[in-house]
Structure formats: C-alpha cells, structure tokens
Amino acid sequence: MPKLTKRLLDSLRVDDKDLVFWDTELPGFGVRVLVSGVKSFVVQYRAEGRSRRLTIGRYGRLTLEQARKMARMKLGEVDQGQDPAEEKKRGRQAITVKELAKRYLDEHAKAKKKPASAFRDERLLERFILPALGSRKIKSITRADVATLHHKIGQDTPIQANRTLAVLSKMLTLAIRWGLYMDENPCRHVERFKERKRERYLNQDELARLGTALNKALAEGKGSPAAINAIRLLIMTGARLGEVLGLRWEWIDWEHSCARLPESKTGAKVLPLGGPALEILSNLPRAAGNPHVFPGHKFGAPLSDINATWRMVRKAAGLEGVRLHDLRHSFASVGAGAGVSLPVLGSLLGHSEPSTTQRYAHLADDPRQKAADKIAGLVAEAMAREPEKKVLPLTNVKKPQNG
C-alpha cells in the first residue's frame, strides 16, 4: 500500500467488508473504509502486550495532514507509556458532576455528617454547583471553571462562595479516592475570600418593624406561611436555621416546654421553648403524612429554603442586608441586655454540649427555661410595638417677612 494521499483517500472504495488501509510514511496510522463509504482515520499500537486501535476522526471533518499530526501525537503518548484508547474510554465513561453530587450526598454527607451540615451541602449543590457545572464530566472541570464560579458567588456572598468551594473540593477529592478522577483537584490554589466576622443585632425599633412586616405578609398572603412562622420561631428561640427547618413534631416535649433535638451542630440538644415560641407551634397546622413542623413541597420532606420569603419580609421592614443568622444574634443580644448570665445564654444557644443528665432533666426548675421565657417574651413585646415614625426636617421653607 503506498503513502496515503488526498487523491488516494478520495478514490478508496470497498464492496464486501470494511477494510483498513495503512500509511507507509507513519507506521500505525491508517484509514478505515466502511462499505457505507464512511472513512475514518485510526491509529494502531501495542500497550501492555495488547494490540489497541484508536479512532482519531472522520475524513472530511479532518484533513489528511491534521489526522497524521494527531496520529503522531497519540503514538508519542504511547512511547511515554500511555494508552490513548483507554484514556478515551475512561473519558466516555466518566461521570458528570451531577452524578458525583448524588454519590457524595448518599455516601458521605448524609452518611457521615450531621443532618444540618448535610442539608447545607445539599442546598449549596442545588443553588450554585449543579446549575453551573451539573451536566459537565468531572474530568472536564478546570481550575478556571472553579475560579469563575467562586468569583461569581463571592460578588454578593463571599462566605457562601467559600462554603461552595469547600463542598466542590471535597467532592472531587472523594472522586479521586473512589478512582473516578485521576487528575489534580482543580479546586486547589483557588484563593478563598477573606471572611470578616459579622455581628448584627436588631434593636427594639427594628424588631418592631420586623414583627409588623411578618404580620402584614401573613395577613396579605404574601410569601410562604410556613416560612413566615419559621422566621418567627428563629427569633423567639435563637435556634440555628437547620434546627428549625428540620424540627419534627415528635421532638417537641410540650410538658417540659422544650424541643429535644437528637442532632445539632454540637450533638444532641435540648432547646428550651418560651411561651411565645410554644404559642407559634401550637397554632401551626400539621401536614398529613409529614412529620416535620415546617413541611416542604415534596411529600414527607421538610421546608428547605425560606430565603425568598425572608428577602421579601426584610425589605418591607427596611432591614436590607440582615441575614437569617442575625436573628440568632438578636435573640442573644436581647437576653444579654436583660441580664441573662453568659453561661445560661451560651447553654440556650447550644454553644456547649449538655450532659446526659442535663439533657433529660425536668426543665421546670432549669434557669435556662426561665431565660428562654424571659427573652422570648421581650422579643415578642418588641415585635408587637408600632415602629417609630420618622419625623423629617422641613427644608426650603421661607420665613414670613415682618410687616
């Protein structure tokens, strides 16, 4: 067979079966001609004692010179101990980011992390990672892709951008450990945003405006009623968002005015409930077949996201920039201002893990219960007030002239 040329390629035909015609200039490079007339460039080589054949591309989409150049590159990889056909096969079989995310949640987050942490990971995946990268093969993700996503999120929420980067990095680290990914983790060397600790507390007037906005939203049917009541419970208890959204009816101990959480950020936790908090819970409807206090749209699932309702309410209250987590700070602030001791306040907020005896002790004589009642009562009182009306100074008013 002579050297492959364009004229020869154009003239090649087969009648009975597919044939490969080899190039004399570059050993291992050839063109496969099908009975249908389709012609594709191929490379033949040996790797680990086996004969392998790799299809480079179709004639017409590639010129002869382009195909010969690609063949030289592939044969060069073989000389370096690589197996281009196996690499191509792995690329076709590589899973997507969406498929990796499912395995990450099932085998790592939900199996090894606390429920609140797994819930946060799932939210970050749904809100940021999957919309941007979900359909991509994991091996196609580059450091530039990661840096672009991190920067985009960080323009508004730098801390959330860092948390998203951490989840994606852990997923890809596990993919390497599971043998699904052989390259360096592209999240490495992506610089995190600096995180400044924020301490934002609502004052008495801000609490009043928030209470008015929540009542108005509920009365006018704006936002999710479940989300509005979840926000109310957050400010009345100082609980973490995951603790409130994941709350189940069987965990509420009505007799002892508390919620017994089997899991929290600091382990099992007894959450004392003041009178206003208990009133919120007692007035909530129960969804059939759903054990959660704040049911979500999916059958049997909890409410997963209250941010849309929160953004609407805080805008109506003139509290732009206030985060849901700041409600927890505000609960603590009201308590500290009312003279609640720091050890009791820290215990209320779950900053230290209670012992087994404390966890199941009768709460009637527990100073935390009195503190919870006191703080929730003060918060409820503030939220029930009318917001202060702002008096604007008169400007450009001409003074009357004498005479």
* Higher per-residue pLDDT: 175 or 387: 175
How confident is the model at residue 127, as a pLDDT? 92
**Phi, psi (rounded to 5 degrees) for 280:** -60, -50
Determine the average pLDDT of the residues in 137-156.
92
How confident is the model at residue 395, as a pLDDT? 57
- Statement: residue 88 has pLDDT above 80: no
The order of strands in the sheet holding 252-253 is 252-253, 258-261, 269-272
How confident is the model at residue 401, as a pLDDT? 57
Strand partners, 53: 44
Helices (H) and strands (E) in the chain, counts: 18, 7
Domain(s) labelled CATH 1.10.150 in the chain stretch across: 97-177
SS3 state at 380: helix
Determine the average pLDDT of the residues in 381-390.
79
Determine the average pLDDT of the residues in 318-342.
82
SS3 state at 12: coil
Please give the share of the chain, as a percent, with pLDDT higher than 70.
88
CATH class of segment(s) 6-92: alpha beta
For residue 129, which of 49, 195, 44, 187 has the smallest C-alpha distance? 187
Confidence of residue 93 (pLDDT cuts 50, 70, 90): low
Phi-psi region at 313: left, alpha or beta (left = phi > 0; alpha = psi -120 to 50): alpha
Determine the average pLDDT of the residues in 110-136.
90
Determine the average pLDDT of the residues in 332-361.
60
CATH of 204-384, one of 1.10.3720.10, 1.20.1250.20, 1.10.443.10, 2.40.160.20: 1.10.443.10
How confident is the model at residue 293, as a pLDDT? 95
How confident is the model at residue 186, as a pLDDT? 93
For residue 31, which of 52, 51, 1 has the smallest C-alpha distance? 1
* Higher per-residue pLDDT: 84 or 251: 251
- Statement: residue 368 has pLDDT above 80: no
- Statement: residue 363 has pLDDT above 60: no
Through-space distance between the first and last CA atoms of the chain, rounded to whole angstroms: 119
Confidence of residue 367 (pLDDT cuts 50, 70, 90): low
Distance of alpha carbon 353 from alpha carbon 261, whole angstroms: 12
Residues 204-261: tens digit of each pLDDT? 899 999 999 999 999 999 989 999 999 999 999 989 898 999 999 999 999 999 999 9
Domain(s) labelled CATH 3.30.160.390 in the chain stretch across: 6-92
How confident is the model at residue 91, as a pLDDT? 60
**Phi, psi (rounded to 5 degrees) for 375:** -65, -50
How confident is the model at residue 402, as a pLDDT? 55
Determine the average pLDDT of the residues in 137-159.
91
State how beta strands 252-253 and 50-58 pair: unpaired
* Higher per-residue pLDDT: 21 or 354: 21
For residue 276, which of 324, 331, 237 has the smallest C-alpha distance? 237
How confident is the model at residue 84, as a pLDDT? 80
Confidence of residue 354 (pLDDT cuts 50, 70, 90): very low
Distant-in-sequence, close-in-space partners of 124: CB < 8 Å, separation ≥ 6:
160, 163, 164, 167
Distance of alpha carbon 44 from alpha carbon 24, whole angstroms: 13
State how beta strands 29-33 and 19-22 pair: antiparallel
How confident is the model at residue 2, as a pLDDT? 73
Domain(s) labelled CATH 1.10.443.10 in the chain stretch across: 204-384
- Statement: residue 67 has pLDDT above 60: yes
If you average pLDDT over each of 88-102, 232-246, 372-386, which comes out highest? 232-246
- Statement: residue 400 has pLDDT above 90: no
Domain 97-177 has CATH 1.10.238: no
**Cα Rg of the chain, angstroms:** 32
Kindly report the pTM of this predicted structure. 0.54
Determine the average pLDDT of the residues in 101-105.
94
How confident is the model at residue 133, as a pLDDT? 95
Chain mean pLDDT for the chain:
85
- Statement: residue 1 has pLDDT above 70: no
Which of 186-200, 315-329, 338-352 comes out lowest in average pLDDT?
338-352
Decide if 238 contacts 231 (C-beta within 8 A).
Answer: no
- Statement: residue 352 has pLDDT above 70: no
* Higher per-residue pLDDT: 266 or 378: 378
How confident is the model at residue 365, as a pLDDT? 44
How confident is the model at residue 47, as a pLDDT? 85
